[in-house]
A = this chain, B = another copy of it.
């Protein structure tokens, strides 16, 4: 299994509506990309100080399936229209489990 993990912080100018729109858009991807086995996205729960603001954890059966997701036009469209305009920092790891 490949577990794809991304953490974001948003720019100070990012609005609540823009942040909500990221979750709304990403939440459609499991219905559009059948290679996604599990998909959890959302904003930090506010338990700890100093955290990043947003996380994506996506599971795939194989590297090939992850790459289908990574490069999928519907995913890339969300990155371009919803994420890139408000990203301050991005950190990612893919685990091979």
Known: A3-B57, A7-B5, A57-B3. Is A66-B94 also a contact (CB below 8 A)? no
**In the complex, what residues of B have CB within 8 A of residue A44's CB?**
93-95
Instruction: Tell me what chain A mostly uses at the interface: helix, strand, loop, or mixed.
Output: strand
Which chain A residues (41-55) contact chain B, with CB distance < 8 Å? 41-45, 47-48, 50-55
Which chain A residues (1-56) contact chain B, with CB distance < 8 Å? 2-3, 5, 7, 40-45, 47-48, 50-55
CB-based contact A45/B5 at 8 Å: no
* Chain A interfacial positions (CB closer than 8 Å to B): 2-3, 5, 7, 40-45, 47-48, 50-55, 57, 63, 66-67, 70, 89, 91-97
8 tightest A-B CB contacts, nearest first:
A55-B93, A45-B96, A45-B94, A91-B91, A44-B93, A7-B91, A52-B91, A42-B95
